[in-house]
Amino acid sequence: MRKCNLIVSLVTLMLVMAWLLPATSKAEQAVKRLLYVAEPGIRNYLEYGGHGILVYDVEEGYLFRRRIPFQGLAPDGTPANVKGICGNASTGRLYVSTIYQLICIDLKTDDVLWEREFEKGCDRMSMSPDGSIIYLPSFEKDVWYVVNAETGDVLRELVLNSRAHNTVFGIDGSRVYMAGLASPVLSIADAQKHEVIAGCGPFSHSIRPFTVNGRQTLCFVNVNELLGFEIGDLTTGKKLHRVQVEGFEAGPVKRHGCPSHGIAMTPDETEIWIADGHNEHLHVFDVTELPPKQVASIRVREQPGWITFSIDGKTCWSSTGDVIDVESRKITHRLTDEQGRMVMSEKLLEVQLRGNQIIAVGDQFGRGMKN
């Protein structure tokens, strides 16, 4: 009888373990998705989320989790404008630029590892895929700094005299694309030699936000005085198309001084989304064939100035704090902080974790991701 009871107990234990282990394994493999939002991310306006990095739990309906403090102060001691954000999963580091400093933060501990000031200031930077190099534009001055991402040391300065502004690393790490506020030409650098090797354009006016496809054959650029965007061939350097938004008139804008400041390509490279400041809309274009076809327009709650996509391409984050389902074009959430204030920022990205391991970090730029 005892032997029989022992066998029954062992079988029962095995069945319980067989039921529990897959559940435990599944829990260990679950991916946590967090949205990191740097503030003040609309100029130095503290009313749109205060100061620091706001962390939201995407899977929990954008539940506010915590605020990561950093200094990033102007000479008068007030929070300086945040200009850019980037990070890397393999190094576990997050970087925030202000108009004065570049700040490095440990993604696992939230500790500020270092803060470096740059003589000519900082603007919107971009990082190599391996997390080792940052191309950091000065604040609308003549140079781009090539920065060691581990230490913040400057390795080289590239002098373009174009009022340095926006920067995009190609997804394979071979090229860096640089746009200045005073130039209609997109400059292209060899990311190993750190030398400018080519350009694309000229476009019809100075280049504002821009993006590139994964194979780095096409660029899509906002330019001054255009409600829409232009397309360039990165292999020949020629401008291909000028695309204007239909059904909407350009008008005065609160910020940035151009009708469309904000452009992003879905990771699958089927669509381009652009910002329309005056009309407070995002416009969607099908780019599976060129010239593009306008297919949708989405009203947002304020003037948009930047567009970012989730790593899986299913979600659009507008700088207005509107969270948009890409397939349905519907707004699903609107970001607020721990005080219930409306949150807006042009500097945000996604971080993915499995347990305590950082497995992926998104990008502030809506780059195409097809090789």
Q: Are strands 101-106 and 154-159 parallel, antiparallel or unpaired?
A: unpaired
The sign of the CA dihedral 203, 204, 206, 210 is negative
Nearest to 262, CA basis, from 227, 287, 231, 297: 227
Is residue 107, in this structure, part of any structural domain at all?
yes
The DSSP code sequence of 210-263 is EEE-TTSSEEEEEETT-SEEEEEETTT--EEEEEE-SS------SSSSSS---E
Category of 19 on φ-ψ map: left (φ > 0), alpha (ψ -120 to 50) or beta: alpha
Instruction: Report whether 147 contacts 156 (CB < 8 A).
Output: no
pLDDT tens across 283-340, in order? Answer: 999 999 999 999 999 999 999 999 999 999 999 999 999 999 999 999 999 999 999 9
**Residue 344 sits in which domain range?**
33-361
Q: What per-residue confidence (pLDDT) applies to 29? A: 75
Average pLDDT, stretch 163-173? 98
The mean pLDDT value of the chain amounts to: 94
pLDDT value at 89 more than 60: yes
Q: What per-residue confidence (pLDDT) applies to 10? A: 45
| CATH code for the domain of 246 | 2.130.10.10
Is residue 366, in this structure, part of any structural domain at all?
no
The contacts of residue 335 (CB under 8 Å, 6+ apart) are 37, 49, 54, 56, 62, 321, 323, 342, 343, 344
E-strand spans in 160-217?
A: 164-169, 175-180, 186-190, 195-200, 207-212
Is residue 198, in this structure, part of any structural domain at all?
yes
pLDDT tens across 346-358, in order? Answer: 999 999 999 999 9
The contacts of residue 121 (CB under 8 Å, 6+ apart) are 99, 100, 138, 139, 140, 141
Is residue 20, in this structure, part of any structural domain at all?
no
Instruction: Report whether 86 contacts 363 (CB < 8 A).
Output: yes
Average pLDDT, stretch 55-68? 98
Structural domains counted in the chain: 1
Is residue 256, in this structure, part of any structural domain at all?
yes
Q: What per-residue confidence (pLDDT) applies to 22? A: 52
Is residue 218, in this structure, part of any structural domain at all?
yes
Buried b (16+ CB within 10 A) or exposed e, 253-276: beebebbbbbbbbbbebebbbbbb
Is residue 16, in this structure, part of any structural domain at all?
no
Q: What per-residue confidence (pLDDT) applies to 264? A: 98
- Cα-based angle 134, 173, 148 (whole degrees, multiple of 5): 25
Average pLDDT, stretch 64-74? 98
**Hey, which residues does 200 pair with through a beta bridge?**
186
Using pLDDT thresholds of 50, 70 and 90, give the confidence band for residue 46.
very high
Q: Give the whole-angstrom CA distance, residue 364 versus residue 149.
A: 17
pLDDT tens across 138-149, in order? Answer: 999 999 999 999
pTM strictly above 0.85: yes
Is residue 165, in this structure, part of any structural domain at all?
yes
